[in-house]
């Protein structure tokens, strides 16, 4: 029988030779070293020197696996299947964690199935903190937090391994794939959800990260992922309202990316995108979303062209 550990850190990686060592360093240089953990690196078919960087890293805690190139979801699936930890943590290969990550989270692990914590995102120098778990279902909490702009990402949480005992549905979505998996995990919560009001995760996306490099029709899979959640998990009225709001918020972002970086795909799909927005983008959803999303939704509803113009001006100002 494989030896159990307290934490399994799962790192999907694809062509990140320039970043993977920093990521591994952040895990291995933890201030609390008297807790057992493993690092599972799943190489999604890298063609650069990523495998060499990982295999030469001086640590017996690393377990390296290679799979044929597919998508991050399949790499995470492999990592989850191989994990031996009581708690599972996810780290993107171009990011890093705080050196006190284990020290701060470890005292709370006996109390909760999911522990949420803060994230710093270098793209916009913004800190995202989790929201208090109120008197609501775990799924409602997750969706409310997402609408208030706490990232719906696996990396901003750790999870009790019991949540993975039942197989997850790993659909082939390139966008909102984390959201699709998290919805399933939050429906399985039996104990508490805790929030730690400290930044423990640092995102510094590389220039060829998936969300930066894939600006084509694969972005539409994000809509299909969210509609699948609405169809399969929208049993309560609150969940239905949250999911409709999430869909409406997603459309301007997807269309804005296509308008800026892939005009042919934008022109081919703009009517579809606006049809979806008209279906879900009713004014009553404004009460469920953060103020940035309210501005975005309102501008887009008045005129998509106005939204694109304001968006481009904002991006130019940020670069100054």
- 184 and 244, same domain (yes or no): no
Instruction: Give 21-26's long-range contacts (Cβ < 8 A, gap of 24+).
Output: 21/53, 21/57, 22/96, 23/91, 23/92, 23/93, 23/94, 23/95, 23/96, 24/54, 24/57, 24/59, 24/62, 25/96, 26/91, 26/96, 26/97, 26/98, 26/99, 26/101
Burial class (CB in 10 A: 0-12, 13-18, 19+), 303: exposed
pLDDT along the chain (320 residues), means of 10: 87 96 98 96 96 96 94 90 97 97 96 97 88 91 94 97 94 90 96 96 71 79 95 91 95 93 95 95 90 92 92 76
In a domain, 194, yes or no: yes
In a domain, 183, yes or no: yes
- 174 and 261, same domain (yes or no): no
Q: Is the pTM of this model over 0.75?
A: yes
Query: 169, 203, 237 — which closes off a domain?
Result: 203
In a domain, 208, yes or no: no
- 229 and 266, same domain (yes or no): yes
Residue 290 near residue 279, CB atoms below 8 Å: no
- 186 and 262, same domain (yes or no): no
In a domain, 296, yes or no: yes
The number of domains in the chain is: 2
- 230 and 195, same domain (yes or no): no
Find all residues with CB under 8 Å of 244, minimum gap 6, and list them: 230, 280, 282, 285
**What confidence tens digit (pLDDT) does each residue in 116-149 have?**
999 999 877 799 999 998 889 999 999 999 999 9
- 225 and 106, same domain (yes or no): no
- 186 and 245, same domain (yes or no): no
- 245 and 272, same domain (yes or no): yes
* Radius of gyration (C-alpha) of the chain in whole angstroms: 20
Query: What pLDDT, on the 0 to 100 scale, is given for residue 319?
Result: 65
In a domain, 76, yes or no: yes
Query: What pLDDT, on the 0 to 100 scale, is given for residue 1?
Result: 46
d(CA 154, CA 9): 12
In a domain, 312, yes or no: yes
In a domain, 209, yes or no: no
- 93 and 233, same domain (yes or no): no
Query: What pLDDT, on the 0 to 100 scale, is given for residue 292?
Result: 87
In a domain, 210, yes or no: no
Query: 203, 231, 257 — which closes off a domain?
Result: 203
Query: What pLDDT, on the 0 to 100 scale, is given for residue 213?
Result: 56
Tell me which residue range forms the domain holding 125. 5-203
- 15 and 127, same domain (yes or no): yes
CATH value at residue 102: 3.90.550.10
Query: 180, 203, 226 — which closes off a domain?
Result: 203
- 147 and 82, same domain (yes or no): yes
- 242 and 167, same domain (yes or no): no
């Amino acid at each position: 029988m494989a030896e159990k550990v307290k934490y399994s850190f799962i790192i999907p990686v694809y062509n990140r030779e320039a970043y993977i060592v920093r990521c591994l360093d952040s895990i291995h240089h933890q201030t609390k070293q008297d807790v057992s953990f493993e690092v599972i690196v799943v190489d999604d078919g890298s063609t650069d020197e990523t495998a060499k960087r990982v295999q030469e890293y001086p640590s017996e805690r690393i377990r390296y696996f290679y799979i044929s190139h597919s998508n991050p979801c399949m790499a995470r699936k492999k990592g989850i299947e191989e994990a031996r930890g009581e708690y599972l943590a996810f780290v993107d290969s171009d990011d890093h964690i705080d050196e006190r990550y284990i020290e701060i989270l470890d005292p709370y692990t006996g109390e909760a199935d999911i522990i949420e914590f803060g994230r710093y995102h270098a793209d916009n120098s913004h800190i995202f903190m989790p929201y208090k778990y109120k008197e609501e279902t775990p799924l409602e909490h997750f969706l409310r937090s997402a609408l208030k702009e706490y990232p719906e990402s696996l990396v901003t949480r750790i999870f009790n391994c019991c949540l993975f005992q039942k197989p997850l549905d790993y659909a082939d979505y390139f966008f909102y794939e984390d959201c699709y998996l998290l919805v399933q995990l939050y429906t399985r919560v039996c104990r508490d959800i805790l929030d730690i009001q400290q930044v423990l995760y640092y995102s510094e996306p590389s220039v060829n990260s998936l969300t930066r490099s894939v600006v084509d029709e694969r972005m539409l899979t994000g809509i299909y992922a969210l509609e699948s959640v609405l169809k399969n998990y929208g049993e309560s009225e609150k969940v239905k309202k949250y999911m409709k709001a999430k869909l409406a918020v997603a459309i301007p972002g997807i269309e804005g990316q296509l308008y800026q970086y892939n005009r042919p795909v934008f022109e081919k799909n703009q009517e579809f995108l606006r049809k979806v927005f008209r279906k879900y983008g009713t004014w009553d959803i404004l009460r469920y979303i953060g103020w940035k999303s309210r501005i975005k939704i309102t501008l887009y509803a008045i005129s998509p062209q106005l939204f694109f113009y304001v968006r481009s001006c904002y991006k130019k100002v940020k670069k100054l």
